[in-house]
Amino acid sequence: MLKRSALPYLHTWKNKQNRKPIVIRGARQVGKSFLVRLFSQEAELELLEIDFELHGEYAESFASKQPERIISLLELQTSQKITPGKTLLFLDEIQAAPEVMASLRYFYELLPELHVIAAGSLLEFVLEEHTFSMPVGRIEYLHLGPMTFKEFLAGTGREQLCDFMEQFQIEDFPLPIHAELMKLFRLYCAVGGMPEAVQSYCTDGSMLDVESIKQSILLTYRDDFNKYGKRVKHTRLQKVFQTLPLQVGNKLKYVHLDRDEKSSDLKKALHLLALARVYTPVYHSGANGVPLRAEINEKMQKPLFLDVGLLLSACGMSYLDIENLNDISLVNTGSICEQFIGQHLLYSRPFFQEPELYYWCREKRQASAEVDYVQTCGGLIFPVEVKAGKTGSLKSLQIFIQKKGLAFGVRFNGDLPSIVDAHFALPDSQGTFRFLSLPLYMVEELDRIIRELII
């Protein structure tokens, strides 16, 4: 059975004395409903699930400002007893009944004993243009992304490999384990982190079925365009959605999305796709201090797709295309490895924090430089470079370290892990910097390793 790393977070929430209703935010099909159902089982809470897309009439029961009144009406409608402390009230697809969001404050203020969770796939549209009074300070958020590589390993019965990565030592790293993890890394890239696709693979191992599910998910996102087509022309959204996967790893230029459309119109389309969380803009940051968002330039961005498995499907690639490749990259169509690392870094923050990710670049004639991602850990700013194979130039990483007066850099690639004091290989540069190189599959251990070895 699949597990999600957000479960311990929900168990902690369950036992809080000042518990607030929690709202799960994330793209469609990332497993929000599955997570809540699994949590209710583990927490031994009786689940009352209301899907407002299927049962919009239930929204009228939330017109009252008295939680007891709301509960009485729901009990009559559902013929299910609601007992504070023993029942989990799950309000799914709440974006279909946005006025229900306002009532969450009354559960916190007047009936905090009742466990209340809400979720919505297009919730960001409601939050951007809501007309009701938001329950500010009376709810909390949980941001959920696709399943991670370690969640994938656990779902396929490879928990021992998860334990190994969580306790590994850089010295004497076993080569057979590295080879096995690289093989599973390629498999994850092909399957992706969408729970339905992972569950299908775990059930029968058929990549054909997995591909069918991923194509169905992509079609589901396209069907959603009709729900917000009043804002942007449907055909424009369709074109941008189809083109975005080909731009991953590159600086986004509107002309590459659609040379026949105005940049202002394409910008609106991108904004809606970002609200739906099928794409994330990775903005340039000056990276002179924390928080990194303080120095972003929204005119300079690289697109990140929702999921690496969906990226492969959108680009017409399959597991057979990458199974035996040493350099797992998409020529002229973005980077699989950069997508893999990016989506894991994006959701590496605590669940209650808004996902965000940045990169750095310098655009000078004959002296340009670009660092794939810029991260922070305990106040330490450091560059992250992603390489598909075992080799690759680190010139941009060194330029960034030298320019910002830093002493530490990270690379993810297909080689064994190492940490060394590296010498600058730039003209007129002297000295060394601490250089951590990790296999691609180790991305979820990055913060832990830095805290143990550097900070």
* pLDDT value at residue 180: 96
The β-bridge relationship of strands 296-305 and 279-285 is: antiparallel
Over the Cα atoms of the chain, what is R_g?
23
* Contact yes or no for 78/49 (Cβ under 8 A): no
* pLDDT value at residue 133: 67
Q: What is the full DSSP assignment across 120-154?
A: ESSHHHHHHH--S---TTS-EEEE--SPPHHHHHH
Per-residue pLDDT tens digits of the chain, which is 455 residues long: 799 999 999 999 999 988 999 999 999 999 999 999 999 999 999 999 999 999 999 999 999 989 999 999 999 999 999 999 999 999 999 989 988 998 999 999 999 999 999 998 887 777 776 666 677 789 999 999 999 999 999 999 999 999 999 998 888 899 999 999 999 999 999 999 999 999 999 999 999 999 999 999 999 998 887 776 566 777 888 899 999 999 999 999 999 998 888 999 999 999 989 999 999 999 999 999 999 999 999 999 999 999 999 999 999 988 887 776 655 655 444 489 999 999 999 999 999 999 999 999 998 877 789 999 999 998 899 999 998 766 667 899 999 999 999 999 999 999 999 999 998 888 777 789 999 999 999 999 999 999 988 76
Q: Which long-range contacts (CB under 8 A, 24 or more apart) does 383-386 make?
A: 383/409, 383/410, 384/341, 384/345, 384/409, 384/410, 384/411, 384/412, 385/409, 385/410, 385/411, 385/412, 386/335, 386/337, 386/338, 386/341, 386/411, 386/412, 386/413, 386/440
pTM comes to 0.94
**What gap in Å lies between CA 360 and CA 369, rounded to an integer?**
8
H or E segment to which residue 181 belongs: helix 175-191
**What gap in Å lies between CA 376 and CA 384, rounded to an integer?**
10
User: Residue 83: is it exposed, middle or buried by C-beta count within 10 angstroms (0-12/13-18/19+)?
Assistant: exposed
CA 285 remoteness from chain centre: 20
**What gap in Å lies between CA 152 and CA 281, rounded to an integer?**
25
**Which structure tokens are listed for 42?**
């583990």
* Contact yes or no for 294/238 (Cβ under 8 A): no
Angle between helices 175-191 and 195-204 (to 10 degrees): 120
Query: In sequence order, which ranges of 192-314 are alpha helices (DSSP H)?
Result: 195-204, 207-224, 234-243, 254-257, 263-275, 308-314
Q: Which of 250, 243, 244, 248 is nearest to 361 (CA)?
A: 250
User: Residue 67: is it exposed, middle or buried by C-beta count within 10 angstroms (0-12/13-18/19+)?
Assistant: buried
* Contact yes or no for 218/313 (Cβ under 8 A): yes
Q: Sketch out the chain's domains with CATH numbers.
A: 7-143 (3.40.50.300), 150-453 (no CATH)
